[in-house]
Each structure stands twice: as structure tokens, then as C-alpha cells.
């Protein structure tokens, strides 16, 4: 009985703190007086019930149910106060052009309008537990049959108009040591320095040169501030897996030809002190062992002809990637933001190629960036850029930026979830990107940009097959309207 009385007393106090108090603060004039009167009546009713309980006069279960409903309402409001909701709407128009000099192709797309909607979710569940999520739709206007489907970029390519989970993860912060555990669909898209072009805070764990995808996994982050006398040093370990499963009999080995793909990554990062404040340095390591060969179904879709499998090796080899990245905002107190990144990819092939037949008669073999899957393949890419924060108050401090990246013949850019439609960081060649950001107010931003790719080499199957010479110029001129609230 004493516990029940204590609960009732807590209900009275909580009602005032979380429900009555804020409403009184928001009310004014005659309405305020009415609200005060109603709240006073509610408090008097609760106090009367407590008195009846103390006198032993409350025997009606209906009264107890009413009090329980009041407590549920108060608890619900307390929980709702911890939830953060936000939304983004983007309308974009792209004008593309292609000049393929080797194949004598000259093509233009006058405008491709698209809409992107995002619902951002967050909750500080407790001092130790935090949830973050994002649901997205990205589609061309009036079209639901365009773009490539890929489990590593499902919500970030122009496809159907269904709402997809872009990220959904929980962070748990342990009390006994400076470690955070992250589980779920990890924050691996919008890799640095996408925040420059998007004009947002940091949205990803990785630099985009290292890995820019959607992926489910688990991560551990260690706070090294007690060991390293630098701002916010951290060590991260990440594991993700791409399961190749037809979902028919999950308790058995799947019937697809491709093997599951595991990805292991580690990253150390830190800020820099003193005059280099707001500078971030990152070293990232990624390893993908036992690369799988493509299935005959995926090759049939790629080649536009029926493909049957003759033989598949257990794996095609290993991929290792090293990435160095540094980014600085308001460098030395100026209006300049800048970044620089360099990444190296190494493929150590198994030496055995995958063999197929096209149309049942034409032999076809594939390795990673080769046909015979024999030579080691090493590639690299560097990515540099700067952004000027123009000190023009009348224009709400607009920004102008430029980026440049250059990839070698055997460069592998694992940027399946890239924000830009040309996926410029994957290019084997050169890419320039210019953009201008015009804030209208705190919620509304306009961005205009121009991207040009000079493609020197292409791989017919993304990662598979011999890299071929190319001579293509691809451009994109775009304007987008962003509303965030």
C-alpha cells in the first residue's frame, strides 16, 4: 500500500513537472487562467484520491485503472520528449552529357528531375543508449524503373518510390571503460568530405575514398583521450557481411553461386591541437578476404545474354585498402575549408578464374580486374578540394567549392552509396566538381554545380574482367533545392 501511495505522489509531481508546468508557461491571457484552473482541478482530484487511499476508502478497481492511465500518459510524454524527429526534402534537376570518342557516341539528357525525402530519427534512450535512424525515398519524377539495385546502396539510387532504411543503429556506451558498441545498419554512407558539399556536420564514420556504402554490421569505438594527448582520438573496429542468400531455406547453404562476403575494417582518427583546431586526421584499413565470383544470373543481366556456369573457384582472391585523409574547417581562423585524401587498393588473386558459357557455347572467364585472375592488381586515387565561406552577410554567407580526384587504371572505388549520381570517386581517370551553396534561410538551401569526368579506363563488370582503354567525357550540370527541418 505504501508503494502505491508513493506512486500516486510521484504522479502528482511528475504531472506538474512534465505536463502542467510547460502548458502554464505556454498559455497566456484568459486561456492561461482557464488552463490554470483545469490543472488545479486535476491536482486536487489526484490529491483527493491519495487521501481516500490513506483512509482506506478506495476499493474501486476503476479508480485504480484511472490512476494507472494517468501514470501511463505521463510516462509516455516523458519518453516522447527523448525522441528527435527531422525531415529533409530535396528536389533536383540534372543535365547529363556523354562523349565517347572511341565508339563515336555523343549523347545528352536535357533534364532528369528527381525527389529525395528523408525522415531522420533519433532517441537518447538513457545515459548509455542512443538510437539513430534514417528512412529515405529517392526517385525520378514519374518513374519507378531506373537505376541499379544493390544491397549496398538500396536507398541511395534512383529506384522505386518505397521508403527504405538507409541507416538504423544503436550506440551503447559502457560505464566501466571508454568503449562504445554500435550495432545495426551502420553510418557508412555520406563519407567524408561529403559534408562539405552537403553543407552538414559529419555524417559518416569513413572517408568516402575508403568505403561509402550501406551495410549492416557491428562496430567498437575506443576513446583514446587518456592515452593520446590530442583532441578526440579514437580507434574503431568494424565488421560487416553481405549475405548471398535466396531466403528459401535459411538453415542450409544457399543455392546461389556467390559466396558470402565479409568486410573487416579498422580506423584511427584524431583532431589536431592549437592553431590546427577543427582539423581531423584519419587512417583507415579495409580487408575483404575471399572475394566471390559473380553468379551466372548477375552476368546474364550484365551481358544481356544467357550465361551458364562451368566452374567457380572457392574465391577469386583478397582485397586490401589503405586510406589516408585529412580535413580542416576554418583553417587557421580563415574562411577556407580544405581536405586531402589518398587511397591504395591491392588485389591478391587466387590464380584461378571463374569460367562460364555465353549462350551455351562461347567460353567466358573472369577474375578480379583481369580475365585470367593471375596478376596482382594495385591501384590508387587521390582526392583534394577546398571550400570558401564567402563573408557576404547580405547573401547569408554562401559557399563556393571545388574538388578534384584522379584514379589509376586498377583503382577500386567502393562508393556504391555515393551522393553524386556520377559516382565520381570510382572513376578511373580524372574528375572535377564545382559547386555553389546559397542559403536562403536556416531551413532552405539552393545548390548549383557542375561535374565533369574524363574516363580513361573502364571495367566491363565493375570489378570483374580486364580493364579496357576508354576515352569518355561525362558531364553533369545540376541545381537542387534542399529543405531541412
The model's confidence at residue 148, banded by pLDDT at 50, 70 and 90, is very low
Q: Which of 263, 275, 268, 259 is nearest to 313 (CA)?
A: 259
Q: What angle do the packed helices 29-54 and 61-80 form, to 10 degrees? A: 130
Cβ neighbours for 479, distance < 8 A, ≥ 6 positions apart: 92, 93, 446, 447, 448
List, for residues 319-334, the tens digit of each pLDDT value.
999 999 999 999 998 9
* pLDDT for 156 beyond 80: no
Task: Please give the share of the chain, as a percent, with pLDDT higher than 70.
Answer: 76
Rounded Cα–Cα distance for residues 312 and 37 (Å): 79
Q: What's the grid cell of residue 93?
A: 534537376
What's the mean pLDDT when you consider all of the chain?
A: 83
Q: Check if the beta carbon of residue 206 is closer than 8 Å to that of residue 267.
A: yes
CB-based burial of residue 416 (10 Å sphere; 0-12 exposed, 13-18 middle, 19+ buried)?
A: buried
Sheet holding 307-311, edge to edge: 307-311, 354-358, 362-366
- Region 44-55: mean pLDDT is 63
Q: Which residue has the cell 535512424?
A: 133
Q: CA angle, corner 16, sides to 10 and 18, nearest 5? A: 90
- Measure CA of the first residue to CA of the last residue in the chain; give whole Å: 48
Q: What's the grid cell of residue 145?
A: 524503373
List, for residues 388-422, the tens digit of each pLDDT value.
999 999 999 999 999 999 999 999 988 888 889 99
Q: What angle do the packed helices 2-14 and 29-54 form, to 10 degrees? A: 180
Quote the DSSP letter at residue 291. P
* pLDDT for 49 beyond 80: no
Query: Does the model's pTM come out above 0.85?
Result: no
List, for residues 3-21, the tens digit of each pLDDT value.
444 444 444 444 444 444 4
List, for residues 282-309, the tens digit of each pLDDT value.
999 999 998 888 878 778 877 788 988 8
Q: Check if the beta carbon of residue 465 is closer than 8 Å to that of residue 366.
A: yes
So what's the pLDDT on residue 348? 92
- Region 343-371: mean pLDDT is 89
Residue 172 φ/ψ, nearest 5 degrees: -115, 125
Rounded Cα–Cα distance for residues 102 and 203 (Å): 40
Which residue would you say has higher pLDDT here, 138 or 344? 344
HEC string of 75-115 equals HHHHHHCCEEEEEEEEEEEEEEEEEECCCCEEEEEEEEEEE
Which residue would you say has higher pLDDT here, 340 or 12? 340
Which residue would you say has higher pLDDT here, 130 or 313? 130
The model's confidence at residue 164, banded by pLDDT at 50, 70 and 90, is confident
Cβ neighbours for 2, distance < 8 A, ≥ 6 positions apart: none
Q: Residue 138 belongs to what H/E stretch?
A: strand 129-140
List, for residues 189-236, the tens digit of each pLDDT value.
889 999 999 999 888 888 999 989 888 999 999 999 999 999 999 999
* pLDDT for 65 beyond 70: no
So what's the pLDDT on residue 419? 86
Min mean pLDDT across 60-74, 296-310, 376-390, 422-436 is at 60-74
Cβ neighbours for 235, distance < 8 A, ≥ 6 positions apart: 221, 222, 224, 266, 267, 268
Amino acid at each position: 500500500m505504501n508503494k502505491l501511495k508513493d506512486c500516486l505522489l510521484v504522479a502528482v509531481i511528475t504531472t506538474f513537472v512534465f505536463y502542467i508546468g510547460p502548458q502554464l508557461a505556454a498559455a497566456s491571457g484568459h486561456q492561461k487562467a482557464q488552463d490554470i484552473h483545469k490543472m488545479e482541478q486535476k491536482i486536487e482530484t489526484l490529491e483527493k484520491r491519495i487521501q481516500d487511499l490513506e483512509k482506506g476508502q478506495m476499493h474501486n478497481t476503476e479508480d485504480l485503472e484511472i490512476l494507472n492511465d494517468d501514470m501511463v500518459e505521463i510516462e509516455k510524454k516523458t519518453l516522447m520528449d527523448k525522441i528527435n524527429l527531422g525531415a529533409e526534402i530535396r528536389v533536383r534537376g540534372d543535365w547529363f552529357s556523354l562523349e565517347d570518342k572511341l565508339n563515336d557516341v555523343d549523347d545528352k539528357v536535357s533534364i532528369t528531375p528527381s525527389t529525395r525525402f528523408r525522415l531522420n530519427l533519433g532517441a537518447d534512450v538513457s545515459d548509455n543508449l542512443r538510437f539513430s535512424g534514417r528512412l529515405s525515398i529517392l526517385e525520378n519524377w514519374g518513374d519507378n524503373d531506373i537505376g541499379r539495385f544493390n544491397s549496398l546502396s538500396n536507398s541511395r539510387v534512383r529506384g522505386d518510390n518505397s521508403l527504405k532504411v538507409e541507416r538504423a543503429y544503436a550506440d551503447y556506451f559502457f560505464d566501466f571503460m571508454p568503449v562504445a558498441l554500435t550495432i545495426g545498419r551502420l553510418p557508412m554512407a555520406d563519407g567524408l568530405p561529403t559534408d562539405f558539399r552537403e553543407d552538414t556536420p559529419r555524417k559518416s564514420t569513413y572517408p568516402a575514398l575508403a568505403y561509402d556504402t550501406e551495410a549492416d554490421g557491428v562496430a567498437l569505438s575506443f576513446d583514446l583521450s587518456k592515452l593520446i594527448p590530442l583532441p578526440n582520438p579514437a580507434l574503431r573496429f568494424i565488421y560487416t557481411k553481405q549475405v548471398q542468400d535466396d531466403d528459401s531455406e535459411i538453415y542450409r547453404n544457399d543455392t546461389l553461386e556467390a559466396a558470402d562476403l565479409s568486410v573487416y575494417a579498422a580506423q584511427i582518427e584524431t583532431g589536431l591541437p592549437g592553431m590546427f583546431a577543427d582539423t581531423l586526421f584519419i587512417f583507415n584499413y579495409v580487408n575483404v578476404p575471399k572475394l566471390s565470383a559473380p553468379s551466372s544470373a548477375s552476368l546474364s543481366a550484365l551481358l544481356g545474354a544467357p550465361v551458364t556456369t562451368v566452374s567457380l573457384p572457392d574465391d577469386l582472391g583478397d582485397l586490401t585498402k589503405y586510406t589516408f585523409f585529412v580535413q580542416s574547417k576554418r583553417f587557421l581562423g580563415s574562411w577556407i575549408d580544405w581536405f586531402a585524401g589518398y587511397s591504395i587498393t591491392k588485389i591478391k588473386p587466387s590464380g584461378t578464374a571463374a569460367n562460364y558459357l555465353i549462350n551455351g557455347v562461347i567460353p567466358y572467364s573472369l577474375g578480379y580486374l583481369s580475365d585470367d585472375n593471375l596478376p596482382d592488381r594495385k591501384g590508387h586515387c587521390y582526392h583534394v578540394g577546398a571550400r570558401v565561406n564567402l563573408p557576404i552577410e547580405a547573401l547569408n554567407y554562401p559557399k563556393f567549392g571545388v574538388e578534384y580526384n584522379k584514379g589509376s587504371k586498377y583503382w577500386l572505388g567502393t562508393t556504391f552509396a555515393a551522393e553524386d549520381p556520377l559516382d565520381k570517386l570510382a572513376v578511373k581517370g580524372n574528375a572535377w566538381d564545382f559547386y555553389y551553396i546559397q542559403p536562403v534561410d536556416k531551413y532552405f538551401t539552393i545548390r548549383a554545380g557542375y561535374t565533369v569526368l574524363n574516363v580513361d579506363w573502364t571495367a566491363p563488370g565493375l570489378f570483374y574482367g580486364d580493364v579496357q582503354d576508354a576515352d569518355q567525357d561525362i558531364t553533369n550540370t545540376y541545381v537542387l533545392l534542399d529543405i531541412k527541418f
